[in-house]
Every structure is written in C-alpha cells, then in structure tokens.
Amino acid sequence: MNMIQPEDFPYETPVALVYDTGDYEASLDKAAITVDSQSLGKAQRIDSALVRYEKFCASTLPDGVDLDGLKVVFDGANGAGYKVGPRMLSNLGAEVIPIGCSPNGRNINDGCGSTKPELLQLTVPAVKADVGVAIDGDGDRLVMVDETGRLIDGDQLLYVLATSRQSEGRLRGPVVGTVMSNLGLRLALNDMDIDHIMTPVGDRYVLSQMRSSGAIIGGEDSGHMIFLDQHTTGDGMLSALRLIQTMRHENKPLSELSRIMVVLPQVLLNIEVQQKPEIESVPQIMEAIRSVEAQLGEKGRVLVRYSGTQPLCRVMVEGPRQAETRLYCQQIADVVKATLG
C-alpha cells in the first residue's frame, strides 16, 4: 500500500488520513493459519558474513596501510562487534588488548563500550597503549581514548577526520552535525575555513543533509559517524579504522590531532512538562533565553527543545566556563518548570 507521507499533504494543520482497510479488520475474526513445527523455518548462522564484513572494512583503507607496531585497547561493549573488532585490528597487524568482549546475553553495554568508556580510559595508559577504541552494543557508534586516557568524543573525531581530509585536498562539501554538536566544533572548523551545517538530532537528518549538500563527512557527538564516500550508515569499526589510519598518515598521536578543538562546557537539563506549546509562543521562556544569549554573546549558545518521545523539555547551554554555564542553564530550566511543569 502506498501511504501518503505527512510532508506531501497540502494542509497546514494536521488532518486524519483515512486508508482503505479492505478485508484486514474482517480477517481478525478468522482463525490464525498455522503449520506443523516440522515445517517451520530454521535459523542459520552465516559464518562467512564475518569474513565479508572484515574484508569490506579493510578495503576502505589505502593500499599498503597496516597497523604494525600499534597497540590498541578495543572495547566491544559485549555486543555485535566483540569478535570482529579484535580480529580485524589484529589481522591488520595491531597488538590488541580486548575488553568488553565476553558477552553472556545480558551484559551488553554494561559498564563498557562507547556509552561507558571509563574502564577503557583506565586501561589505555595502564598498558601503555597507543589508542583505545570503544564501539557501542550494536556497533554503529565510536568514541576513542588517546594515549593519556583522555576521552575523544564524536565531535572531536569529526574534526580530526575533516581537517586531515582537507590537508590532503580530499574534503568535499561541509561537515554535517546536529544541533547537539559542541560549539567548539563549529568554531574550530570555521578557523580552518570548513563549513559546518547543523540538523535536528538523528542520523537520518544528518544523512539527508549530507546528500543535499554534497558532504562526505557527518555525524553526531555520540560518535555516530557517516562517511558518504564509502557507506550510507554509521559503522563504529569503519570509523575506527579511518581514525587510526589518519594517525598513521599524520604520524601523530590522537592527543595531538584532537588538541586544537576545544570542547566548550555544555550543560543539559531535562525538565518534565505537562504540555508542549511552541517554545516561541511562551513569552517567559523566550525572555529567559534572550537574557542568557545576550550575556553569552559569541562565546556560547542556548538550545531549548522538547523530547520527541518523552514529556520532557531539554535545556542545553554552552559557555566558556562550567560554573556560569550551569548557572545560565538552571535559570532557563527554572522558568520552563514554572511555566510548563
């Protein structure tokens, strides 16, 4: 059935879309069609998929690139990449120390992976590794840890990749991020004469903007990155290989490559709300936002938006210093709570 998409509908206000259900409702009263258990399908393990995926990721590297002499701590989040990650890095010549690679069916993302990188931060300097790599449970996000144990997030990784590509003359289009991208990314890219476009939160918006703007690098601060010259979706292992290859090509540690981008203090507060009117239609909230923006000037920014799935209003403020940034964020949050909570 070809369903009408909301953006294709010519009315300014929401209307009910009616579809021809045919015999669907009538079929609910009929007995379910079943088959004997002997005739049911069987699950099959496709072992060759691991090899095919590994070959694909390795094929994205320039010819002759290897990881000989590199010591890598790999955190697989006890998830989808627990086996292929260490194997891929090892086959490319790296010495791999795996953590978060012992799934038991219940411990995915449990104190490990890109959402919980604390163990990785401790392990990398303890074993004197060159770099730490952490993907998340389903393998589409990446964060990294430099040789000192410092966490390098998605925005910083995008900066490293974009500036490296630019120095090689191979960067096309802008770098695409989301409204949650740290202001430090935009400022650092502007210093390098690289355009930065922000979209709503969500990789589908990032991908759409990349396609329309001709960008080849885009992603979110969470570490979900897309390289449109090689793939149309986020892939943590692919991202990791590109970052490690950049380290080899530049002959610099990750600490040095990422140091130029300064991550500005960012405070995010979630406030429960009873209603979700347009933010612009609430004078008290707009007055609080304008007051903070006037005090921040060019040194920070304010973002107030609703959660798409929860009764929450998210107030985010970035500024030059942590204490005043938190104070500004709390000021706006208090007004949101008083008017909508």
Q: What is the pLDDT of residues 266-310, one digit of tens each?
A: 999 999 999 999 999 999 999 999 999 999 988 899 999 998 889
Task: Give burial (CB, 10 Å; 0-12/13-18/19+) of 187.
Answer: middle
Q: What is the pLDDT of residues 136-149, one digit of tens each?
A: 999 999 999 999 99
Cα distances from 81 to residues 5, 36, 53, 102, 116, in angstroms, run 36, 36, 11, 11, 16
Element (H, E) at 98: strand 95-99
Strands 266-272 and 225-227: unpaired
Query: What's the CATH architecture for 266-340?
Result: 2-Layer Sandwich (3.30)
Spatial distance between the Cα atoms of 294 and 302, rounded to a whole number of angstroms: 10
**pTM score:** 0.79
pLDDT of residue 36: 81
The domain limits of the chain are 49-258, 266-340
Mean per-residue pLDDT of the chain: 89
pLDDT of residue 291: 95
Q: Across-strand partners of 270?
A: 314
According to CATH, the topology of domain 49-258 is Alpha-D-Glucose-1,6-Bisphosphate; Chain A, domain 3 (3.40.120)
Q: What is the pLDDT of residues 69-124, one digit of tens each?
A: 999 999 999 999 999 999 999 999 999 999 999 999 999 999 999 999 999 999 99
Q: What is the pLDDT of residues 110-127, one digit of tens each?
A: 999 999 999 999 999 999
Share of residues in the chain with pLDDT > 90 (%):
72
Residue 308, classed as helix, strand or coil, is coil
6, pLDDT greater than 90: no
Strands 142-145 and 131-135: antiparallel
- On whether the CB atoms of residues 306 and 312 are closer than 8 A, the answer is yes
